[in-house]
Amino acid sequence: MGIIAPSILSADFTRLGDELIQIKKAGADWIHIDVMDGQFVPNITYGPIIVEACERASDLILDVHLMIEKPDLIIPEFAKAGAHYISVHAEACTHLHRSLQLIKSFGVKAGVALNPATPLSSIEWVVDQLDFVLIMSVNPGFGGQKFIESSIEKIKALSNMLKEKNSTAIIQVDGGINKDTINKVSKAGATSFVAGSAIFNTENYTKAISKLRRNM
Ligand SMILES: O=C(CO)[C@@H](O)[C@H](O)COP(=O)(O)O
Ligand SMILES: [Co+2]
């Protein structure tokens, strides 16, 4: 069964605690937390304080997606705040292997996120360090964007690459995931699905998550 990870980027922040309760009731598996610094991406969101608040408000797995420059400087704070999974962008890490080792040193699962234009070869020599790979299916920075179709071939190629290297890393896909796109990425090999607007921009989260699961 696939993992549904609602992105709180599209949640109502005036009532975050209640939103977290509602998505758990609706059948969510993880909570996806999009951290943006206004440098790596043209948007600014939130930091470890919000991760810590999510940790107090929910017992779901906290999946922290770092869209920031120099992530090593603040990875320890996110780990201490309660992150279970942390992904860093390959494009933002000069010493990617070191960043992954830093995440793992806190007992946190480590992942690499790849922008749509970034080739899979950028993770070739760190596959043995990876618990998951996040394939961006939109350019990072905003929720509610249109799914980029070339992500499907990229996920297929990643799935083959991981098999060849005997890796059990999870393939996560993030951006433009809805009832129409989830089937294609699931068939291609993704098993963790981030969805923001397709869940939080609806009236009924249970129905939204059920629709995603039915179409996996
Ligand atoms: O990392 C990001 C955006 O940079 C995502 O996690 C989005 O928050 C997903 O939003 P939708 O495309 O599902 O609305
Ligand atoms: Co994300």
DSSP string of 12-73?
A: -GGGHHHHHHHHHHTT--EEEEEEEBSSSSS-B---HHHHHHHHHH--SEEEEEEE-SSGGG
Q: Tell me, what's the pLDDT at 80?
A: 98
- Give the list of residues 6+ apart from residue 27 with CB closer than 8 angstroms, or none: 4, 206, 209, 210, 213
**Sheet of 170-174, strand order:** 3-6, 192-195, 170-174, 132-136, 109-114, 85-89, 61-67, 30-36
- Is residue 198 lining ligand 1, measured as CB closer than 6 Å? yes
Mean pLDDT of the region 117-123: 98
Q: Which residues contact 42 (CB under 8 A, 6 or more apart)?
A: 141
Q: Is the CB of 144 under 6 A from ligand 1?
A: yes
Atom of ligand 1 nearest to the CA of 139: 4
**Measured in angstroms, how far is the CA atom of residue 173 from the centroid of ligand 1?**
10
Q: What is the pTM of this model?
A: 0.98
| Average pLDDT estimate for 56-82 | 98
Q: What is the pLDDT of residue 1?
A: 79
For position 207, what pLDDT does the model report? Answer: 98
* pLDDT at position 25: 98
Query: Residue 206 phi/psi, 5° resolution?
Result: -60, -45
Q: Which of 165, 112, 164 is nearest to 135 (CA)?
A: 112
Cβ of 79 below 6 Å from ligand 1? no
- 196 among the known binding-site residues? yes
174 lines ligand 1 (CB under 6 A): yes
Q: Which of 126-140 are b and which e, b meaning 16 or more Cβ less than 10 Å from the residue's Cβ?
A: bbebbbbbbbbbbeb
3 and 30 Cβ atoms separated by less than 8 Å: yes
Is ligand 1 within 6 A of the CB of residue 111? no
For the chain, give the percent of residues with pLDDT over 90: 100
The torsion of the CA quartet 59, 143, 4, 24, rounded to 10 degrees, works out to 40
Which domains are seen in the chain, by residue range? 3-215 (3.20.20.70)
Ligand 2 centre distance from Cα of residue 45 (Å): 11
Residue 93, pLDDT score: 98
For residue 87, the model assigns a pLDDT of: 99
What is the average pLDDT across 68-81? 98
CB within 5 A of ion ligand 2: which residues? 34, 65, 174
Ligand 1 pocket test: pick from 145, 199, 212 the residue with the most ligand atoms within 8 Å of its Cβ. Answer: 145
The answer to whether the annotation marks 174 as part of a ligand binding site is yes
Q: Which of 12, 18, 34, 128 is catalytic?
A: 34
What letter does residue 7 receive in the DSSP assignment? B
- Rounded to an integer, the average pLDDT of 119-139 is 98
pLDDT bracket for residue 188 (50, 70, 90): very high
